[in-house]
């Protein structure tokens, strides 16, 4: 469902901004493709790196986030 996916994207973005590792893990366990940040100008990886949340950065990279996006 598109609405659920959008909700998960918003939750992931907020969790990456705040460094909420547990929520990021739960979301990626449900939807691993979220790590790639498709359809967003700022990826989850960018948000977590910008705010210095290295645990989240590592998790996203392990789940397939593109370090060039």
Q: What is the per-residue pLDDT for 33?
A: 87
Return per-residue pLDDT of the chain as tens, 69 residues: 789 888 999 999 999 999 999 999 999 998 888 888 877 788 999 999 999 999 999 999 999 998 987
Q: What is the per-residue pLDDT for 47?
A: 94
For helices 21-30 and 2-18, what crossing angle results, to 10°?
Answer: 150
């Amino acid at each position: 469902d598109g609405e659920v996916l959008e909700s998960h994207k918003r939750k992931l973005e907020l969790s990456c901004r705040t460094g909420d590792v547990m929520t990021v893990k739960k979301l990626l366990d449900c939807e691993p493709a979220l790590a790639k940040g498709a359809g967003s100008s700022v990826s989850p990886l960018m948000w977590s790196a910008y705010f210095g949340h290295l645990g989240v950065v590592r998790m996203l990279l392990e789940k397939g986030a593109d370090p060039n996006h």
